[in-house]
Amino acid sequence: MSWFRLWLRFAHIAFVCAGAFLVYGFRRLFAGRLSEERRQRLIGESLASLLERLGATFIKFGQILSTRPDLLPPGVIEPLARLQDQVPPASFATIERVLSEEWTDEQHAQVRELDSAPVAAASVAQVHRAVLQDGTVVALKVQRPEAASQVHRDLAILGFWARLFDRFRALRMLSLPGAVERFGHALEGQLDFLGEAANNRRFAEAFADNPNVGVPALVDPLCTRRVVAMEFVDGVKA
């Protein structure tokens, strides 16, 4: 991994964070007296916007925070919840480029229609509805092209700072290097779409005899390292 790229990424993170804190300070200054609820929402909105700008690794961190009402108040969690599936999407041209890199002409020929607007967009991927030549409606989960390289750089940076802070006795009890390692392992697992497809198969096999559990069927010929294709199932977010 290039040290130059690591330093560029670190400088970008520092610049974006500094700008976000400055903007938050001005918003807080000119907002006057705020109720506790509005203050929490301002913090949550500012944090969600910052994490979006920092990219996949930090969006994933925000997703985790949005599921921890034991750590954060409701006013902060609510704005963070949009990071689950309402992150600004990559352009359709970008998604088409990923598909052209991942699929052969034969695989492309199996798709009759592909919606340009995503159904959902999150930290490392976004989902588009598509129709196959036989009329089957499928969901295509396509990995953002910069996700893997950015995640690896971010984890290297976070690991460096975690080891540095671990030298301080007062912070050693937090076990920051271990926390970053576990976070990184989980995040890198989400970049492995072939592994995700394999997990889908195992889950489907495990519950094949249970009429109360439905698992969207994979479209194996279209699954690759950065694309997962499966049956499109309408539903309601819990």
Predicted confidence (pLDDT) per residue in 135-147, tens digit? 999 999 999 999 9
Mean pLDDT of 109-125: 95
Select from 93, 85, 83, 82 the least CA-distant residue to 120: 85
Q: Where are the alpha helices (DSSP H) in 55-175?
A: 56-65, 74-80, 92-102, 105-109, 147-165, 169-172
**176 Cβ contact list (under 8 Å, min separation 6):** 161, 162, 163, 165, 166
Contact 150, 55 (CB under 8 A): yes
Domains (ranges, CATH) in the chain? 3-84 (no CATH), 89-238 (3.30.200.20)
Residue at 16: amino acid letter: V
Sign of the Cα torsion 164, 165, 168, 169 reads negative
User: What percentage of the chain exceeds 70 in pLDDT?
Assistant: 99
* pLDDT tens figures, 195-230: 999 999 999 999 999 999 999 999 999 999 999 999
Query: Within 13 Å, how many C-alpha atoms sit on residue 135's CB side?
Result: 0
Averaged confidence pLDDT in the chain: 92
- Confidence at 238, pLDDT banded by 50, 70, 90: low
CA-to-CA distance for 157 and 53, rounded, in angstroms? Answer: 17
Indicate if the pLDDT at residue 50 is higher than 70.
yes
Higher local confidence (pLDDT), 190 or 34: 190
pLDDT of residue 172: 83
Its pTM stands at 0.84
- Confidence at 35, pLDDT banded by 50, 70, 90: confident
